[in-house]
């Protein structure tokens, strides 16, 4: 049997050559699916799949002994002197397993221009980051690029103290103070970070009522917060916030803007479409 590192390295070379964003591991079928966002590029039978699957769990610091669980972890890997940020997610039940390896920076996007956003929309988004306080939400479906766009915005800001709370940190930015957190620690970390008087605090994702409550409390205390949230349309963002039991008066007091984006495939490439809605401060 080949060395597992050599096998994984060959797998990464192929993925990068295909410019795929995800590799789906299907141990029960002994197959790999190379995907670019939601587009299937290639499906192959892979004899060493189980060994690579276990190796990736180790690399991503996923608890080996935990069963019937969903877990994920991140790590970095060099391919021909280029550094790639990787996230491995697993779903395991008694009888089935499934894993997804996401290559987070297969396409380097660190500016709004690289996102393909119009000049007018870019100006609208960046203008919201000059407000003294409030909440800016980046929304879209899974895989639409919400976090990529939000951090591209933050990376363009000059002379701003920007802190982020992420679970996990998927990509590192020299201009942002990034802290890894967990759901149970979010409220305490927000309290601690606000003592350092950031100009902007970015939250990786709003997942629960507790997350939203902590974010609203920080916004109402006079700070500018930005975060991502899953939604199927611009209108559904408000429905999601309502489902998370936000108080309407609080929301009207702090919400400054929503950026909704979708991803489409055109002529073998990807294209982002944006809708930007601003609210009066």
pLDDT confidence of residue 1: 45
Beta strands (DSSP E) in 46-182 are 70-79, 82-92, 97-103, 134-140, 162-166, 177-180
pLDDT confidence of residue 67: 63
Q: What is the 3-state secondary structure (H, E, C) of 36-80?
A: ECCEEEEEEECCCHHHHHHHHHHHCCCCCCCCCCEEEEEEEEEEC
Inter-residue contact 21 to 37 (CB < 8 Å): yes
Count other C-beta atoms under 10 Å from residue 253's C-beta. Answer: 15
Counting every residue written for the chain, the total comes to 281
Q: Which of 190, 186, 20, 38 is nearest to 107 (CA)?
A: 20
Q: Are strands 22-26 and 31-36 parallel, antiparallel or unpaired?
A: antiparallel
Alpha-carbon gap, residue 215 to 217, rounded angstroms: 5
* CA distance readout (Å), 112 to 108, 123, 142, 255, 256: 12, 10, 20, 22, 19
Give, in degrees to the nearest 5, the angle at Cα 266 between 262 and 270: 50
Inter-residue contact 48 to 63 (CB < 8 Å): no
* pLDDT tens, the chain, 281 aa long: 469 999 999 999 999 999 899 999 999 999 999 998 888 999 999 999 999 999 999 999 998 776 657 899 999 999 999 999 999 999 998 889 999 999 988 877 767 777 778 889 889 999 999 999 999 999 999 888 899 899 999 998 989 999 999 988 888 888 999 998 887 888 899 999 999 999 999 998 998 999 999 999 999 989 999 999 999 999 999 999 999 998 888 999 999 999 999 988 766 567 788 999 999 86
Structure tokens at 50: 């189980």
Q: Which of 259, 253, 258, 256 is nearest to 279 (CA)?
A: 256
pLDDT confidence of residue 22: 95
Q: Are strands 134-140 and 162-166 parallel, antiparallel or unpaired?
A: unpaired
Task: Count CA within 13 A, CB hemisphere, residue 259.
Answer: 31
Structure tokens at 56: 């990736």
pTM of the model: 0.83
What is the largest distance, in Å, between two alpha-carbon atoms of the chain?
63
Number of H helices, E strands in the chain: 9, 13
| Residue recorded with tokens 């995800």 | 22
Task: Check residue 185 and report its DSSP letter.
Answer: G
Structure tokens at 176: 């942002």
pLDDT confidence of residue 253: 92
Give, in degrees to the nearest 5, the angle at Cα 15 between 142 and 68: 55
């Amino acid at each position: 049997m080949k060395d597992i590192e050599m096998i994984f390295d060959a797998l990464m070379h192929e993925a990068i050559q295909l410019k795929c964003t995800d590799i789906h591991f299907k141990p029960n079928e002994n197959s790999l699916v190379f995907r670019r966002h939601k587009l299937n590029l290639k499906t192959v039978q892979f004899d060493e799949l189980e060994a690579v699957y276990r190796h990736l769990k180790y690399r991503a610091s996923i608890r080996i002994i935990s069963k019937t669980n969903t877990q994920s972890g991140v790590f970095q890997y060099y391919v021909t002197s280029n550094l790639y940020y990787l996230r491995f997610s697993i779903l395991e039940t008694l009888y089935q397993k499934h894993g997804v390896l996401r290559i987070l920076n297969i396409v380097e996007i660190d500016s709004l221009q690289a996102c393909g956003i119009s000049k007018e929309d870019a100006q609208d988004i960046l203008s919201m980051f000059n407000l003294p306080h409030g909440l800016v939400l980046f929304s879209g479906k899974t895989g639409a690029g919400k976090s990529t766009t939000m951090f591209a915005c933050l990376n363009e800001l000059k002379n701003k103290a920007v802190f982020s709370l992420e679970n996990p940190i998927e990509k590192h930015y020299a201009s942002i103070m990034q802290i890894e957190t967990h759901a149970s620690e979010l409220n305490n970390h927000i309290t601690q970070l606000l003592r350092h008087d950031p100009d902007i605090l970015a939250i990786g994702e709003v997942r629960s009522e507790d997350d939203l409550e902590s974010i609203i409390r920080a916004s109402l205390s006079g700070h500018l917060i930005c975060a991502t949230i899953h939604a199927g349309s611009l209108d559904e963002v408000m429905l999601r916030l309502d489902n998370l039991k936000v108080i309407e008066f609080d929301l009207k007091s702090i919400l400054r803007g929503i950026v909704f984006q979708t991803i489409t495939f055109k002529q073998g490439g990807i294209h982002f479409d944006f809708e930007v809605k601003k609210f009066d401060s």
